[in-house]
């Protein structure tokens, strides 16, 4: 198979979808890899690094999309990239379609087959291609929140860990999955008072054991959240219902309960945001204020630390890229049924039920869509 790796075009995105190690494994297995010149630059990977492992360099995105049977990316395709997709081509990347009806319709119209990293499942129903970026985003969430609490940045002016004689700040993490656990680990490390809220009791049990009493776990009822908001200096939103639009766990009316210039970090913004007042922001302009509360809602948080994030991502995606190149989509699904849940669009039809429901389009099962497209 000919695999194409374009340079990412989303604002402040410095990751790349394949590292030189991946090029080596694909070319050793007899596949061809076309990398857009400069694609690795943001992650400190040169064209020569790719060429040394057998990649062919292409001058622009048009050449990569034109030649490749499978496009491997990091972020959802931007309009100029959607225009380059075609029927019969496979796109493998983060998509987050439930929060983006327009992109969903454009991908359907492209005729391409689109596999979303964030909905691929493993044998245990976990999300192996979301997890590495959630680990990174969770750690950044607390760092960013701590920074935004500083007075010159518009925050309350409180140090997360306090000092001897002055109390620590209170951090509330809503959603104790991969993002939430990593955010809490950093907050505990910074010596804040940390509370993790979730609706899954088994998950709360796991967190309680993992933290050994260094943070409190609480069932995330609306009342419990309301009772905690007046104390919180930093609230990190990290809830997820697989593939669906994020539920709102803090409403606008509840902002009035919070301290002036407290900080909300909405990591779930890529699924539409879990605070009612959230809207997507970028690394160059990461925050805005609503009712005296600072909101940080960057949709590609790991893009800020590409030297970590590119390798964390490609370590996880490479086995899937190899399987898709080797067996094609239907063959790769036969060998690993969890890959089927990653398939969001096939040849003009939506094949992932939560996305079809969220954007109001018809749904067809992956197997039926693949059979029909043959
Ligand atoms: N902004 C970014 O750059 C970025 C990067 C990585 C991940 N994310 C996003 O972060 C979010 C969380 O990802 P994750 O990997 O931690 O997911 P996860 O599935 O590991 O964890 C989600 C947790 O939310 C809990 N939950 C669901 N509904 C809830 C509710 N109403 N109240 C309280 N808890 C609830 C679940 O029980 C689960 O423990 C996702 O939307 C993901 O796409 C964003």
Q: Which residue is associated with the tokens 């596999």?
A: 115
Report residue 374's pLDDT band, with 50, 70 and 90 as the boundaries.
confident
Question: Does residue 249 surpass a pLDDT of 90?
Answer: yes
List the Cα angle 52/54/59 in 5-degree steps: 90
Average pLDDT value for the chain:
97
Sign of CA dihedral 280, 282, 285, 286: positive
> Could you confirm whether 285 is annotated as catalytic?
no
**How far, in Å, CA of 91 to CA of 374, rounded?**
17
Q: Give the closest residue (by CA) to ligand 1 atom 33.
A: 198
Ligand 1: residue of 133, 179, 281 to mutate (most ligand atoms within 8 A of CB) is 179
Q: Kindly state the average pLDDT of the residues 277-291.
A: 97
* 268 Cα to the center of ligand 1, angstroms: 6
Question: Does residue 243 surpass a pLDDT of 90?
Answer: no
Q: Kindly state the average pLDDT of the residues 340-358.
A: 97
Q: Kindly state the average pLDDT of the residues 89-118.
A: 97
* 314 Cα to the center of ligand 1, angstroms: 21
* 9 Cα to the center of ligand 1, angstroms: 25
pLDDT in tens, 173-208: 999 999 999 999 999 999 999 999 999 999 999 999
**How far, in Å, CA of 191 to CA of 181, rounded?**
15
The strand pair at 349-350 and 343-346 is best described as antiparallel
Q: Kindly state the average pLDDT of the residues 126-141.
A: 97
pLDDT value of residue 373? 86
> Could you confirm whether 96 is annotated as catalytic?
yes
């Amino acid at each position: 198979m000919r695999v194409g790796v374009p340079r990412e075009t989303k604002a402040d995105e410095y990751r790349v979808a394949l590292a030189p190690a991946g090029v080596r494994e694909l070319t050793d297995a007899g596949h061809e890899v076309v990398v857009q010149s400069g694609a690795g630059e943001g992650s400190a990977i040169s064209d020569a690094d790719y060429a040394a492992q057998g990649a062919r360099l292409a001058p622009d995105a048009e050449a990569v999309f034109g030649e490749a049977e499978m496009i491997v990316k990091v972020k959802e395709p931007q309009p100029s990239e959607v225009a380059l997709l075609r029927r019969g081509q496979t796109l493998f990347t983060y998509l987050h379609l439930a929060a983006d009806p327009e992109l969903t319709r454009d991908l359907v119209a492209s005729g391409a087959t689109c596999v979303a990293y964030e909905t691929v499942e493993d044998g245990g129903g976990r999300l192996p291609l979301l997890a590495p970026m959630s680990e990174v985003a969770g750690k950044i969430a607390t760092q960013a929140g701590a920074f935004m609490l500083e007075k010159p940045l518009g925050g309350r002016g409180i140090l997360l860990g306090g000092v001897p004689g002055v109390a620590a700040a209170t951090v509330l993490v809503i959603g104790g999955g991969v993002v939430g656990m990593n955010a809490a680990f950093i907050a505990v490390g910074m010596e804040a008072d940390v509370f993790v809220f979730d609706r899954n009791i088994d998950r709360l049990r796991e967190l309680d054991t993992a933290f050994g009493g260094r943070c409190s776990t609480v069932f995330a009822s609306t009342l419990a959240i309301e009772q905690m908001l007046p104390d919180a200096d930093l609230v990190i939103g990290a809830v997820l219902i697989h593939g669906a639009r994020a539920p709102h766990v803090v409403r606008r009316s509840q902002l009035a309960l919070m301290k002036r210039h407290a900080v909300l970090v909405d990591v779930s913004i890529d699924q539409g945001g879990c605070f009612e007042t959230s809207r997507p922001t970028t690394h160059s302009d990461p925050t805005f204020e609503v009712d005296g509360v600072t909101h940080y809602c960057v949709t590609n948080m790991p893009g800020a630390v590409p030297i970590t994030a590119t390798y964390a991502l490609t370590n996880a995606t490479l086995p899937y890229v190899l399987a898709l190149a080797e067996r094609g989509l239907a063959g790769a699904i036969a060998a690993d049924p969890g890959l089927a849940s990653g398939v969001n669009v096939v040849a003009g039809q939506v094949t992932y039920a939560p996305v079809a429901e969220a954007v109001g389009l018809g749904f067809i099962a992956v197997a039926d869509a693949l059979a029909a497209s043959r």
